[in-house]
C-alpha cells in the first residue's frame, strides 16, 4: 500500500487513492473531542486517552515495523534519525509535522519519494486537544493495517537492540504479545556548550543511572512498540488495548498500570534500548526550553526540562552500546551524498 505526500503538502496526504485533507483531520479531531466528552460522563475510558473509532475489524499485517512521531523544526537531526532507524529495521515513518518552518520538508523529500516517509500536516487544532496524543490516535486509526508493529517515539530518541543487529529479531521473540514498553535512558550534554560536528549518537555518551534512582523518578518514562490493530485508545507514554485496558508491558510480559510507571523493578530493558537525548548541547537545550511545548490546556510550557535536569545530575554513568552502529550509519550517510 502506497503512502505518499502530494507536491503541495499543505493540501493533504494521499493514502492509496484517497486524499486525507485538512478537513478530514479536523473531522477526526472533532470525533476524538466528542468521544472524550462522552468518556468523562460514562467513566468507560480513561479521559486522558484518545479513543480509536473503527467501523470494522482491522486485519493485522504479517510483518513490518513502522514509527509514528510528531515533530516541529527538527531538520538538522532528521537524516541521522531516519537512517539510523532504517538500519535497525524500520520500514516506514508517519511524521506529523506540527508547523515546521526550518526546511524539515526539504530534508524529508527524498524519503517521501522513496515511500519511506509519510508526512501529515498537524498543527495545533485546538488548545484543548493534546497534539501528540491526537497524532498517535490518528496513526493507529489510519495506518494500523500497514505494519505488524508500530512504535511511538520522538526525534530526540533512538530505539535499538543492544543484543541484535535489528529490532526485528527481539520483536519476533515476543510472539503474540500486545506491546512492549521500553524505558527511557536519558543522556545529557556531555559537556558540549554548542552543537558539535558529527552524529548525535556518537557525541553524547553520558547518561543518568539506569534504572533511575528513587530521587530521579521523573526520568523513568516509557515509549511503546505495539500491535496497532489491538489499540483502542492512544496516549503518549501508555496506550489502551482491546480487552486489556490501559497498561504498560515490559519485555517479560509483566503488566503495569500507567500510574505505576515509576516502579524501578518493572523497568527492564534487555533486548530493547531507548536512548533519550533530551538535552543535546547546552545551546540546543536552551533552544528547546524557549521553544517549549504545548500542554493539553493549550499553554506553552517552557520550564518542563528543569526538574528533569536536576534529577539527571544526581547520578550519571557512561553508556556506549549504541556506538556499535556508528560505522554502518556513517557509511550509509556518506554514500547518500
pTM for the full predicted model: 0.84
Measure Cα distances from 37 to 30, 126, 128, 246 in Å: 11, 15, 11, 18
Report d(CA 217, CA 322) in Å as an integer: 24
Q: How is the chain split among helix, strand and coil, in percent rounded to 5?
A: 35, 25, 40
User: Does residue 6 have a pLDDT over 50?
Assistant: no
Beta-sheet pairing, 255-256 with 245-249: antiparallel
Instruction: Report yes or no: 274 and 156 within 8 Å, Cβ to Cβ.
Output: no
For position 295, what pLDDT does the model report?
Answer: 58
Residue 47 has a pLDDT of 42
| N-terminal to C-terminal alpha carbon distance within the chain | 29
| Host H or E run for residue 37 | helix 22-42
Q: What is the pLDDT of residue 258?
A: 87
CA 315 – CA 317 distance, rounded (Å)? 7
Q: Of 118-132, 135-149, 199-213, 273-287, which gets the smallest average pLDDT?
A: 118-132
Q: Are 50 and 233 in contact (CB under 8 A)?
A: yes
pLDDT digits (tens, 9 = 90+) for 33-58: 665 555 443 333 334 567 776 666 67
Distance CA 210, CA 40 (A): 37
The residue extents of the domains of the chain are 3-336
Q: Where are the alpha helices (DSSP H) in 174-321?
A: 200-203, 282-291, 306-312
> Residue 301 above 70 pLDDT?
no
- β 65-71/149-152 pair status: parallel
Average pLDDT of the chain is: 85
Average pLDDT over residues 66-85: 97
Q: What letter would DSSP give residue 198?
A: S
Backbone angles phi, psi at 208, to 5 degrees: -70, 155
Whether the per-residue pLDDT at 11 is higher than 90: the answer is no
Q: Using CA atoms, how far apart are residues 177 and 181, in angstroms rounded to an integer?
A: 11
Query: What CA–CA distance (Å, rounded) separates 175 from 171?
Result: 7
The strand pair at 117-121 and 179-187 is best described as unpaired
Q: Quickly state the pLDDT bin for 201 (edges 50, 70, 90).
A: very high
pLDDT tens figures, 242-290: 988 899 999 999 999 988 888 899 999 899 999 999 999 999 998 887 7
Separation between Cα atoms, residue 105 and residue 109, nearest integer Å: 6
Cα(257)–Cα(277) distance, integer angstroms:
26
Mapping DSSP onto H, E and C, the string for 65-97 reads EEEEEEECCCHHHHHHHHHHHHHCCCCEEEEEE
Span of 6-15, 117-126, 208-217, 306-315 with lowest mean pLDDT: 6-15
Q: Is the pLDDT of residue 1 over 70?
A: no
* 206-250 pLDDT tens trace: 999 999 999 998 899 999 999 999 999 999 999 999 988 899 999
176: buried, middle or exposed (CB in 10 Å: 19+, 13-18, 0-12)? Answer: exposed
Closest CA to 139 of 205, 234, 248: 234
Of the ranges 16-20, 49-53, 178-182, which one carries the lowest mean pLDDT score? Answer: 16-20
User: CA separation (Å) from 32 to 46, 51, 141?
Assistant: 13, 7, 11
**For residues 172-180, average pLDDT:** 95
Amino acid at each position: 500500500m502506497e503512502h505518499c505526500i502530494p507536491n503541495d503538502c499543505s493540501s493533504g496526504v494521499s493514502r492509496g487513492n484517497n486524499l486525507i485533507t485538512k478537513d478530514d483531520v479536523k473531522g477526526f479531531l472533532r470525533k476524538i473531542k466528542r468521544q472524550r466528552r462522552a468518556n468523562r460522563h460514562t467513566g468507560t475510558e480513561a479521559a486522558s486517552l484518545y479513543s480509536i473509532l473503527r467501523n470494522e475489524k482491522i486485519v493485522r499485517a504479517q510483518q513490518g515495523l513502522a514509527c509514528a512521531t510528531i515533530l516541529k523544526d527538527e531538520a538538522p537531526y532528521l537524516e541521522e534519525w531516519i537512517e539510523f532507524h532504517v538500519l535497525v529495521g524500520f520500514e516506514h515513518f508517519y511524521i506529523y509535522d506540527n508547523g515546521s518552518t526550518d526546511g524539515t520538508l526539504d530534508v524529508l523529500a527524498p524519503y517521501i519519494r522513496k515511500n519511506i516517509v509519510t508526512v501529515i500536516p498537524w498543527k495545533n487544532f485546538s488548545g484543548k486537544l493534546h497534539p501528540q496524543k491526537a497524532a498517535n490516535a490518528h496513526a493507529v486509526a489510519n495506518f494500523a493495517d500497514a505494519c505488524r508493529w508500530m512504535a511511538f517515539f520522538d526525534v530526540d530518541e533512538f530505539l535499538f537492540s543492544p543484543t541484535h543487529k535489528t529490532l526485528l529479531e527481539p520483536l519476533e521473540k515476543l510472539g503474540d504479545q500486545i506491546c512492549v514498553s521500553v524505558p527511557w535512558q536519558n543522556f545529557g550534554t556531555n559537556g558540549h556548550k554548542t552543537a558539535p560536528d558529527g552524529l548525535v549518537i556518537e557525541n553524547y555518551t553520558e547518561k543518568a543511572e539506569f534504572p533511575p534512582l528513587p530521587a530521579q523518578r521523573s526520568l523513568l518514562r516509557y515509549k511503546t512498540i505495539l500491535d496497532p490493530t489491538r489499540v483502542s485508545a492512544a496516549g503518549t507514554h501508555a496506550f489502551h488495548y482491546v480487552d486489556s485496558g490501559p497498561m504498560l508491558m515490559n519485555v517479560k510480559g509483566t503488566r503495569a498500570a500507567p500510574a505505576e510507571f515509576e516502579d524501578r523493578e518493572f523497568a527492564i530493558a534487555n533486548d530493547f534500548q531507548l536512548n533519550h537525548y533530551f538535552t543535546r548541547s547546552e545551546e540546543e537545550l536552551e533552544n528547546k526550553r524557549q521553544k517549549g511545548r504545548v500542554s493539553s490546556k493549550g499553554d506553552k510550557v517552557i520550564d518542563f526540562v528543569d526538574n528533569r535536569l536536576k534529577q539527571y545530575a544526581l547520578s550519571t554513568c557512561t553508556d556506549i552500546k549504541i556506538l556499535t552502529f556508528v560505522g554502518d550509519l556513517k557509511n550509509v550517510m556518506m554514500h547518500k551524498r
